[in-house]
Amino acid sequence: MTIKEIQDEIVDEFSMFEDWMQRYEYIIDLGKALPLINEKYKTEENIIKGCQSKVWVHGELNNDKIVFTADSDAILTKGIIAILIRAFSNQKAADILEANTNFIDEIGLKEHLSPTRANGLVSMIKQIKMYALAYNVNK
C-alpha cells in the first residue's frame, strides 16, 4: 500500500467514532498493539526531542524501504507514534519525504492534543522525515 492509501484508511477508521473519547481509546489500543522496539534502540540518540513523555524511534533500511520501530513511556503517546509508524514504515525514503501529513488534521488529532503533545507529534513527524532524508541521501 502507498502512504496515501494507508493514511486514507486511518482517516476512514477514525471517522467511524462518534466522539473523541472513543478516538482516544482507539489510539491507546493502537499503542498497545505497537510492536516493541528492541531495547538496544532505547538510547538517548533515538529519543524524540520536544516530547513531554519519552518517545524512542528507530528506523533502518531493509530492501530499499525504511522499517520503523518505536516505543513511549506514555500510553497515549505510544498510540500516536503507532499511527505514524503505520503510515510511514515499510516505505521508500523518497516516498516518505514527499508524503504530506494532512491526514493528522483530517482525523483532528492535533487540535485534540495538549500543546505539548501537539509539539511532540510534530517532533515525531520531523524525526521520521530525518530518517528518510538520511537514507535517501545514502542511495
Active site residues: 51
Phi then psi for residue 60, to 5 deg, are -140, 150
Neighbouring residues of 4: CB distance < 8 A, sequence distance ≥ 6: 99
Q: Is 33 exposed, middle or buried (0-12, 13-18, 19+ CB in 10 A)?
A: exposed
Cα 19 vs. chain centroid, distance in angstroms?
22
Partners of 62 in the β-ladder: 65
Q: Are 33 and 82 in contact (CB under 8 A)?
A: yes
